[in-house]
Structure 1
């Protein structure tokens, strides 16, 4: 089952970017007093033996508390926007309204598995990340085929997780056929998926991992198609390993 938060990537985050991002230009109120308030979460971390939070972490915690004061994070460095997004997801503070602040932020990871309230209305902002978007997890959401279709232009997507998404059918999976950079696709317990949807995967030439566990629409002769796809994925992964060892 998908995780509930987007992972942090290995880029260095410049704290000066956060100081610029929380200035009056990007805040609805422009008040400079917000930094003087207490930070409940870091205090709790220290009491439990944790390390001191960095200035960046303090800023992110405060932004989470005052998220309604912000219109957009699109002018922040991408890594900073990603960490703010992660914090909102982890703390379950992300809503359709606060998601709008991340429009065109070039996020790389939007992992919303088990996040409450995720529907097609979220997909417009998610797809606005464009070619920067590398991984998406919509597990246990109410996203439908129509919402999934908005990902078709996110050409660099490498991993999509749609576990327990019963509103996504073969028709929706056809929209993924052009995402040729995809290496991982998971559709656990997605009852509406059949052999017709699986045929759309034939164009995913870089696919290495395919999880169709407990997809009840795949049975009998359709299992052969599933096994064939999974063998192709394994072969593709082995080719990449061989290339890596010969370099």
Structure 2
């Protein structure tokens, strides 16, 4: 059920306004990608990370009930972004292998993700930071159109794990490659990821604000250059 005044709360209103501005300025020039936090990530903040992770083992039914409530926030915010002009929305939901095992994703979060993808009104990308290779076979069946993954995961192994059931995006290292690297280093990383067959070449996560525009532009330049070479 829609929360009264949800879209008028300042943080939400600001994001929606930004999407409208981007749609007006860049409608036919690039994809407008929104973002919403998933129920697992929201639970870290509202439940407390340590308590939530402990209860995922000790009181799984309690965790399921919490996720069931929080998923409504994710769905509502994603749909508000689509209504304002987003082409796709990324759902960040950090059930990472650095914190929980693959069965936690399979048993607790996968059913919730399937409901989210069934109810949102447009295509969605799932993002999970860190080590995710051991749960990619489940992520591939979640209903998301794409999984955006971290540089901790080998791209070739990732492609093998999803077996063509979902497209992948990533996984250029933000710090070593984008922040402290140069266009040549970026091209080598792009080449490695493209060779693995990853469909969308992108930074692994939110780009550090200190990354130069030159290095960001080098991603696009490298992809275009290597794609032409592969077609030759």
TM-score where L is the length of structure 1: 0.36
Would you tell me which structure has more strand in proportion to its own residues? 2
TM-score where L is the length of structure 2: 0.37
- Between structure 1 and structure 2, the one with the greater Rg is 1
